[in-house]
Amino acid sequence: MAQVELIATSTFGLEAIVAQEVKDLGYQDVTVENGKVTFKADESAICRCNLWLRTADRVRLKVGEFKATTFESLFEQTKALPWAELIPSDATFPVEGKSVNSTLFSVSDCQAIVKKAIVESMKKKYHCQWFEEKGPLYKIEVALLKDIATLTIDTSGVGLHKRGYREAAGDAPLKETLAASLILLSRWHPDTILIDPLCGSGTIPIEASLIGQNIAPGMNREFVSEHWPTLPRDLWRQARKETHDLAHYDKTLEIIGTDIDNEVIKMARKNAYEAGVDELIHFQAMPVSDLRSKKKYGKIICNPPYGERLGNLKEIERLYRGMGKVFSNLDTWSYYILTSYPEFERFFGKPATKKRKLYNGKIRVDYYQYFGPRPPKRKDAF
């Protein structure tokens, strides 16, 4: 099976989580850089990584990388790459671009030159002067960073955060990839109760359910590379079969999502139904102040409103004070809160055990982690 080099792109701050997911899939030749995880694997990894990666933004096929400080250099080195081995003659192959701290700063010019170079390269193989571009999509990106040009082909299509279950979302939706990251960072175990008391459209409980039953996040969606004639269809069939073989559909979970807004709870239930996990989650319309549990140990993971998102600051501060009082009654629990509000700890009434900088879209946020006592050792149910 042919060897390829892949790049799993990542939101800033989540690179280590993405890298661990890649390693968990069995790919060990991994390099971590800002915003991306590069690794070598066989072609089946294109299918498996798109289906299984919960925290990556997308999976790109790396075609080549080289230094380019002139347009001539960019053209010649791009032309020398084996495009015709990767792209069929009828393919649609648009070129996108970006440039950061590079001599070649005009993105539009770089895109045009790369496009021309690819066409010239393909002309030699296919012995034609014109490509209609009516076939499968091979979206190419030229990314220049400090004069290093990296050329890739997108294998995902729609971003990996689009699981296919969330047609409905609230006013400030949390990306599915970030929600999954919050759960993985909390080291939640499926035998432990998990509550999101500000669940909104249900993304955190839904992602927890998928993790808890080891359901591949991409199981119910399509990817652009599924339509590539250059990638054997049998690889996709095998990869999709694996997602069903490895799912633990009989695993019982205790996951609860609550929100003060009854309409939002209806939306969460609909999203959970679309994800196929509605029977695993108990959704209830309820204010945070009513949160109670008889369980001695558990985890709270939530993405409450913050100033840049919703409401005014006085309401936000009042909410955080209330959360602090309620959560303090669950003193043997661990809780994890994502917010951009810099004064969160002061109003919550307690400094975090650990704080991690992340990004929710373009908003810089902190993930406040409060560790409760370690529960007694349990037999691993996975």
| pLDDT tens-digit readout, 139-171 | 999 999 999 999 999 999 999 999 999 875 555
Mean pLDDT over all residues of the chain?
94
166/183 Cα distance (integer angstroms): 18
Q: What is the dihedral of CA 96, 102, 103, 104, to 10 degrees?
A: 0
State yes or no: pLDDT of 264 exceeds 60. Answer: yes
DSSP letter for each residue of 140-197? EEEEEETTEEEEEEESSSS-TT--S--S---SSPPPHHHHHHHHHHHT--TTS-EEET
Number of other residues whose CB lies within 10 A of the CB of residue 315: 12
24 shares its domain with 147: yes
pLDDT confidence bin for 305, thresholds 50/70/90 = confident
Closest of 172, 182, 160, 248 to residue 210, by C-alpha: 248
Report the pLDDT value the prediction gives residue 316, as an integer from 0 to 100: 92
Distance CA 174, CA 281 (A): 18
**Are 150 and 211 contained in the same domain?**
no
Q: What percent of the chain has pLDDT over 70?
A: 96
State whether 266 and 361 are in the same domain. yes
CATH of the domain at 224: 3.40.50.150
Query: What pLDDT sits at residue 308?
Result: 53
In the chain, the amino acid numbered 101 is N
Distances (CA, A) of 179 to 3, 219, 302, 324, 377: 32, 17, 9, 22, 27
166 inside domain: no
Q: With 80 as the cut, is the pLDDT of residue 27 above it?
A: yes
* pLDDT of the residue at 375: 81
Q: Helix (H, G, I), strand (E, B), or coil: what is residue 304?
A: coil
DSSP state of 79: H
By C-alpha distance, which of 260, 280, 255 is closest to 326? 260
Q: What average pLDDT does this structure show over 271-277?
A: 96
Amino acid at 382: F
2-13 residue pLDDT tens: 899 999 999 999
The helix/strand/coil state of 199 is coil
Residue 169, pLDDT score: 56
Exposed/middle/buried for 100, CB within 10 Å: 0-12, 13-18, 19+?
A: exposed
Same domain for 344 and 216? yes
User: 259 in a domain, yes or no?
Assistant: yes
Q: What local confidence, expressed as pLDDT, does residue 307 receive? A: 63
Predicted local confidence at residue 313, as pLDDT? 82
362 compared with 272, residue with greater pLDDT: 272
Confidence class for position 379, pLDDT limits 50, 70, 90? low
pLDDT of residue 167: 72
Has residue 311 been placed in a domain? yes
Go through the chain and tell me how many residues it has: 382
Q: Which residue has the tokens 């700890």?
A: 345
H runs (alpha helix) in the chain: 15-24, 44-52, 71-79, 83-86, 107-126, 176-186, 203-212, 233-246, 262-275, 313-328, 344-348
Percent of the chain's residues with pLDDT above 90: 89
378: confidence class by pLDDT, cuts 50, 70, 90: low
- For the record, the structure tokens of 6 come out as 């892949």
Q: How far apart are CA 291 and CA 258, in angstroms?
A: 9
Residue 381 clears pLDDT 70, i.e. is over it: no
Q: How many domains does the structure of the chain reveal?
A: 2
7 in a domain, yes or no?
Answer: yes
Residue 249: CB atoms within 10 Å:
10
Section 349-367 average pLDDT: 94
Instruction: Write the CA distances from 152 to 27, 163, 292, integer angstroms.
Output: 19, 23, 50
Angle at 277 between CA 271 and CA 283, to 5 degrees: 65
pLDDT at 310 over 90: no
Residues 247-255 have a mean pLDDT of 97
> Is 304:238 a contact under the CB 8 Å cutoff?
no
CA distance 144 to 148: 5
Give the span between the Cα atoms of 193 and 48, in whole angstroms: 29
Residues 144, 211, single domain; the answer is: no
Q: What is the pLDDT of residue 2?
A: 84
Q: State which residues form the domain around 274.
A: 176-244+252-370
* Model confidence pTM above 0.75: yes
Q: Is residue 165 assigned to a domain?
A: no
| 83 inside domain | yes
Is the residue at 12 inside a domain?
Answer: yes
pLDDT computed for residue 382 by the predictor:
36
